[in-house]
Amino acid sequence: MMKKPEDAPPEQYDIKILKNGTWLYNGTPINRHNLVKLFATVLQKDADGRYWLVTPYERGVIAVEDVPFTAIELRVESAGRDQKLSFRTNLDEWVDAGPLHPIRVAHDANTQEPSPYVMVRGGMEARISRAVYYELAALAVPDDADAESLGVWSRNEFYTIGRVG
């Protein structure tokens, strides 16, 4: 009888996802987009922040430099509070920013450079590409509660993406 993944000791796979969304195996890019998309379907993140590839009979930890996905395209519908922002990831998955898929912006402790993200699924995020972040910045409006904060609306939720000054 084969062991289920939760019974087996964790294995470290030689797979790494770079900050730019490139998947590597043994240090070499995986160039088959459909294979990367297949791996992404079995990708999970645990409570300790480790990333796992999990199938019914195998599981292994993989290395992720930042987050496993990159948001590379933005689609905007409507405007104001009714606006809906949809992001396409580098693996062709679309997510609509909102309560289940919030946008957040972290800042580098030294440079204060913003690093924007959108939640994709299962506690896993997509880093919003610089070009898409510039598109978001063009849509930014002042926060009703704090005029110093600028942000965007999506599905009646306000997401701060920057500050005035």
pLDDT digits (tens, 9 = 90+) for 63-107: 999 999 999 999 999 999 999 999 999 999 999 999 999 999 998
- pLDDT value at 55 more than 60: yes
- With b meaning 16 or more CB within 10 Å and e meaning fewer, what string describes 100-110? ebebebeeeee
How many CB atoms lie under 10 A from the CB of residue 163?
Answer: 12
- With b meaning 16 or more CB within 10 Å and e meaning fewer, what string describes 126-153? bbbbeebbebbeebbeeeeeeeebbbbb
How many CB atoms lie under 10 A from the CB of residue 74?
Answer: 21
- pLDDT value at 60 more than 90: yes
What is the pLDDT, as a whole number, of residue 2?
46
* Helices of type H across the chain: 33-41, 130-139
- pLDDT value at 54 more than 80: yes
What is the pLDDT, as a whole number, of residue 8?
57
Between 3.20.20.150, 3.30.420.40, 3.90.550.10, 3.10.540.10, what CATH number should domain 11-64 receive? 3.10.540.10
Using 50, 70 and 90 to split pLDDT, how confident is the model at 156?
very high
What is the pLDDT, as a whole number, of residue 144?
85
The CA distance from 112 to 1, in Å, is 53
Look at residues 63, 22, 62 and name the one whose alpha carbon lies nearest to residue 53: 62
The CA distance from 118 to 106, in Å, is 11
Locate the domains of the chain by residue range: 11-64, 69-163
- pLDDT value at 143 more than 70: yes
What is the pLDDT, as a whole number, of residue 6?
58
Using 50, 70 and 90 to split pLDDT, how confident is the model at 112?
confident
Topology given in CATH for the domain delimited by 69-163: duf1285 protein fold (2.30.270)
The CA distance from 70 to 28, in Å, is 19
